[in-house]
Chain A
Amino acid sequence: MATLVLDQLDLTYPDGTRAVKSVDLTVEEGEFCVFLGPSGCGKTSTLRMIAGLEHPTGGEIRIDGRVINKLYPGEREIAMVFQHYALYPNKTVRDHFEMPLKALRMPKEERNRRIAETAELLHMTELLNAKPRQLSGGQAQRTAIGRALIRRPKLFLLDEPLTSLDAKLRLETRTALKRLQEDLQITTVYVTHDQEEALSLADKIMVMHDGEIQQIATSYELYANPVNLFVAGFIGTPPMNTVPADFVSERRDGIVRAEAFDLHLTEQAAHAVQAAAGDGRLVAGVRPEDLIVTEPGGERELGGRVTVIEQQGDEWIASIDVAPGTIWKVRTPRLDTDELQTGQRVGLRIRPGRLRLFDAISGAAVY
């Protein structure tokens, strides 16, 4: 159990690429922190610097206040689970569990006790003598987790550990992992490119892009109030619908004018836009579930033709061409909308308070 602090952490490769740019982050004791971003965003490099497998070119890494930049990986009291588990084909599950304990020069009885305990925790007692090729994907994954946890590390690092599992198992393992972390209260850093995984697991999410921090927030906050267009587009499947629009002041409130339709702003939103003092060029964004299908409206009202309908359990995801070349997706309960047909014209209404506005140039959230 420990607090992890990254202070102005920087990584520049010999060829001049700056993979990580001045990252500041605090992970509290017992917290589950997820680094999220597309491939090449610097999340894995950051994790590898914490593990000691990569050497920062600037900044500090502190565990419980102590700078660990110069320590060898084995001296950092950390544990790591790799994407492809990194199991040794010639060693049994027991051997895998025993290896880190041997490195600590732990006496034999103590080792056996720990192995039995960890195997029990992960439901692997029966499998201790199996070799990796005899294990299923989920069991191999648990072996990797067991090997990491058995030395009771201060910090638990995971690099895309669920990627090689199939969809069903991934879901199950995700839940099991979250429960395990909550039970053990171990400070955890987890790297993934899968936004749903991040949202479901994390106490705190750090979104990265091009080596820079975009936003650090809880799942809930990240989904509801993305700080910029990148985060808005990265979080959510389907992602947030967006359209370029210009702000037009009108009496007390205002409207944003897109190519094919106008959206009315609340007083608060209009204020926020005016306060932001941009040039009025915005991008409007709405999440698919914040749109409600209605009867087709008049000219310059939001709506369009249904191009595709995709079922998702008790819901439909309908694609609607709200403007030439712009398709918005709407999530709508299937049971309430008996009559939605491909090709049909529909109107759309935005749930109150759910319209988001971003600056068209910087991408930063305005409201």
Chain B
Amino acid sequence: MATVQLDHIRVDYDGKTVVHDVSFSVDDGEFAVLVGPSGSGKSTILRTITGYAPIDAGTVRIDGKDVTYAPVRERDIAMVFQNLALYPHLTVRQNWEFPLKAAKLPKAEQAKRVDDVARMLEMTPYLHRYPHQLSGGQKQRVAMGRALVRNPQLFLLDEPLGALDAKLRVEARSAFKTLQRDLGITTIYVTHDQIEAQALGTKIIVLNDGIVQQVGTPETIYDNPSNQFVAGLFGSPPMNLFDVDVSRDQGVLIAHRAEFSIALPPHLDIEGLGSGASTGAVLGVRPESLRLQARPGEDSIAATVFVVEPTGHQLIVDVKIQDLIVRVRADRGEEWIATLTPDEIVHVTFDRRRLFLFHRSSGDRVA
């Protein structure tokens, strides 16, 4: 088991800096997820830990030991790749023995390790099969198994579930989380899928353009995003973000735009904004923090239905306040919403306790 520490890592690629001054640490047994859009540098950071990517500045420590320039095989790391990289000409057992042979383990020990992992991954009946005889989910477990047989101190995964279809991915996800927890192995996982990141991680590191945006637990990332980027990345559907003008009126902040005005709760305060002055900001509200009503109520805003999308346990309704599209999430219990048709009039209310405000220029959250 191990800890990992990255200090001020910089990576240049073709004269361009793709990873800027990245620092974070992963504790023993922790499940860290690096999440960001493609090109955010998340895979490159993973490759600095494995030793595949050259580092231009900063240090990587595993268990306190500086491994910045140590060769790959001295790092005792196991990695699972997105394309799984199984050997097609070897059976499951032979695929798993492969790294053990490289480590020159005695035959009996090899067999024992393979059998243990097979039991753990419920792959015992398939040990003699070749990869092409396995389903997608099974192949994925073979790839995991090949990494696990070595008992590595650090487990790295680069979008390992990317090749599976949506349904299998959800199953594989919880199975893997259980496994990681049972083994207590320090894990770093790269994904572009925010749903996967929230479901798996005990710590999430959000990246954009090679810069760390926020590090925190899934709850923190979702409930207290540090900036507009993080707020917009997480959630399905993601947070609604509106450009607004914020002004102070008799001590109360009012967010205003052509389609609506809303009085902001006291915890959202832009310091130094004088009475009568106004400033540009971005108002954020999650789809589940909006409510639809058939009749106008207090503080409700009239809107027309644009599209209704049932997704099983919930409904996503896009409504238009004039020309502004707002996404609302409703529970499937609210049957009247499911039967809404486009261009019907509904009334929207904001849950004022759960509004977010971001500075328009920096994108940072107004706390």
Check: A366 CB closer than 8 A to any chain B CB.
no
Known: A178-B307, A289-B313. A313 touches B222 (CB 8 A): yes
| Most A C-beta atoms less than 10 A away, residue of B222, B238, B307, B316 | B307
Q: Is the CB of B310 within 8 A of A220?
A: yes
Q: List B163-189 residues whose CB lies under 8 Å from chain A.
A: 165-167, 170-171, 173-174, 177-178, 181
Q: Is the CB of A314 within 8 A of B173?
A: no
Q: Is the CB of A201 within 8 A of B309?
A: yes
Q: Is the CB of B192 within 8 A of A310?
A: no
- In the assembled complex, which residues on chain A have CB atoms less than 8 Å from the CB atom of B312? 195-196, 199, 219, 223, 235-237
In the complex, identify which listed stretch (A76-84, A99-107, A143-151, A166-174) lies at the interface while the others stay far away: A166-174
B interface footprint on A5-31 (CB within 8 Å = 1, 0 otherwise): 000000000000000000000000000
User: Which of these, A199, A235, A307, A314, contacts B288 with CB under 8 Å?
Assistant: A314
Nearest B residue (CB) for A201: B309
User: Which of these, B174, B192, B236, B342, contacts A308 with CB under 8 Å?
Assistant: B174
Q: How far is the CA of A182 from the CA of B332 in the complex (A)?
A: 22
Check: B237 CB closer than 8 A to any chain A CB.
yes
- In the assembled complex, which residues on chain A have CB atoms less than 8 Å from the CB atom of B173? 310
Q: Is the CB of A219 within 8 A of B310?
A: yes
Check: A319 CB closer than 8 A to any chain B CB.
yes
Check: A200 CB closer than 8 A to any chain B CB.
yes
User: Which of these, B192, B234, B309, B311, contacts A166 with CB under 8 Å?
Assistant: B192
Q: How far is the CA of A166 from the CA of B236 in the complex (A)?
A: 14
The interface size bin for chain B is 35 or more
- A67 to chain B minimum Cβ distance, whole angstroms, is 33
User: Which of these, A178, A220, A236, A313, contacts B235 with CB under 8 Å?
Assistant: A313
- In the assembled complex, which residues on chain A have CB atoms less than 8 Å from the CB atom of B311? 196, 199-200
- In the assembled complex, which residues on chain A have CB atoms less than 8 Å from the CB atom of B318? 175, 179
- In the assembled complex, which residues on chain B have CB atoms less than 8 Å from the CB atom of A310? 173-174, 177, 198-200
- In the assembled complex, which residues on chain A have CB atoms less than 8 Å from the CB atom of B332? 220, 223-224, 289
Nearest B residue (CB) for A331: B313
User: Which of these, B195, B234, B286, B309, contacts A200 with CB under 8 Å?
Assistant: B309
Nearest B residue (CB) for A200: B309
Nearest B residue (CB) for A193: B165
Q: Is the CB of A179 within 8 A of B307?
A: yes
Q: Is the CB of A237 within 8 A of B170?
A: yes
Known: A193-B165, A200-B316, A238-B170. A175 touches B198 (CB 8 A): no
User: Which of these, B192, B199, B306, B310, contacts A179 with CB under 8 Å?
Assistant: B306
Nearest B residue (CB) for A163: B165
Check: A312 CB closer than 8 A to any chain B CB.
yes
Q: How far is the CA of A193 from the CA of B164 in the complex (A)?
A: 13
Q: Could you list 17 examples of A-B contacts with CB < 8 Å?
A: A171-B237, A179-B318, A179-B342, A182-B307, A195-B167, A200-B310, A223-B332, A308-B178, A310-B198, A310-B199, A310-B200, A312-B236, A313-B222, A313-B234, A313-B288, A314-B286, A317-B174
Residues in B lying within 8 Å of A, measured CB to CB: 38, 165-167, 170-171, 173-174, 177-178, 181, 192-193, 195, 198-200, 218-219, 222, 234-238, 286, 288, 306-307, 309-313, 316, 318, 332, 335, 338, 342
Residues in A lying within 8 Å of B, measured CB to CB: 166-168, 171, 174-175, 178-179, 182, 193-196, 199-201, 219-220, 223-224, 235-239, 287-289, 307-308, 310-314, 317, 319, 329, 331, 334, 342
